[in-house]
């Protein structure tokens, strides 16, 4: 579906060097703090900004050879993009019908009614949750093969987030070949939805792993200074000094459980992994 290989972009205060891949039927998350490079990566993948080096392949074609018909297969929701907020849903329905050859008007209008989105009210007067639901509905309402979603649940309460995640799961269930590239700083959303995660920090991919592996095999080691100096460090990914000694991230939790019974070995979460590999 989408491949970025050694894609580079340089700004005066920021440099991106990114490689990632999303295959058919995959849900991939891009994780990082604000300013890490998530939005820049998405814009480069879509051709909205140019890269200086690297290769971008979309639907098995170099980006420059992607046609308008190919782009019909994209569903996109970017944080700062969308229709004029002075328009209403009534205004944008005929636009969507013109833009997209496979626009599902009945589905779109039914979902707007289900989510109680007023059709004759200016989008600027919508709540944050209403705007988020509308963006995702637009992205999934034309039988897209690949969704690219930048922080679709940012700033939403638990109920609104769950509604959007359910909407995305429904979209995936309709066709197993569909794929999603999604960014979020809400780890629970990613744990629930994504097959694999890429962690990006200061424009660099610093870790890529299947979600099941992250939650099933990674672990946090807690030990005193004496224990730290004696323990095998080969399987440690990140280390942090603490008030009690050291805290370490490992991909081989079972190895330490079997070989170092005196050390505290705990399962980890996406949030803890982020803190260990990105915390400063």
pLDDT interval class at 78 (50, 70, 90): confident
Three-state SS at 16 = strand
Using only C-alpha atoms, what is the Rg of the chain? 21
pLDDT digits (tens, 9 = 90+) for 118-133: 999 998 898 888 888 8
pLDDT digits (tens, 9 = 90+) for 161-186: 888 888 888 888 888 899 999 988 77
Residue 155 pLDDT > 80? no
Residue 99 pLDDT > 60? yes
As a whole number of angstroms, the distance between CA 228 and CA 226 comes to 5
User: CATH code for 2-213?
Assistant: 3.40.50.300
Domain definitions of the chain by residue range: 2-213, 217-278
Q: 75 with 147: CB under 8 angstroms?
A: yes
């Amino acid at each position: 579906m989408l491949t970025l290989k050694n894609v580079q972009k340089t700004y005066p205060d920021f440099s991106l060097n990114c490689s990632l891949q999303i295959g058919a039927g995959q849900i991939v998350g891009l994780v990082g703090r604000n300013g890490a490079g998530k939005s820049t990566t998405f814009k480069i993948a879509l051709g909205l900004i140019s890269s200086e080096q690297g290769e971008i392949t979309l639907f098995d074609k170099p980006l420059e050879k992607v046609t308008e018909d190919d782009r019909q297969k994209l569903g996109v929701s970017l944080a700062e993009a969308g229709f004029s907020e002075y328009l209403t849903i009534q205004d944008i329905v005929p636009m969507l019908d013109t833009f997209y050859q496979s626009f599902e008007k009945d589905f779109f209008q039914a979902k707007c009614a289900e989510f109680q989105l007023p059709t004759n009210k200016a989008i600027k007067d919508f709540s944050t949750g209403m705007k988020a639901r509308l963006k995702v509905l637009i992205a999934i309402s034309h039988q897209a093969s690949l969704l690219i979603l930048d922080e679709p649940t940012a700033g939403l309460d638990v109920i609104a987030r769950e509604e959007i995640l359910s909407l995305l799961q429904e979209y995936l269930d309709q066709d197993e070949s569909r794929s999603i590239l999604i960014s979020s700083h809400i780890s629970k959303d990613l744990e629930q939805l994504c097959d694999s995660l890429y962690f990006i920090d200061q424009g660099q991919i610093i870790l890529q792993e299947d979600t099941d592996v992250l939650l099933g095999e990674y672990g946090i080691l807690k030990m005193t200074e004496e224990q730290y100096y004696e323990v095998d460090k080969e399987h440690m990914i990140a280390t942090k000094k603490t008030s009690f000694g050291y805290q370490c991230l490992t991909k081989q939790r079972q190895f330490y459980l079997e070989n170092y019974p005196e050390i505290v070995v705990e399962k980890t979460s996406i949030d803890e992994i982020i803190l260990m590999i990105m915390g400063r």
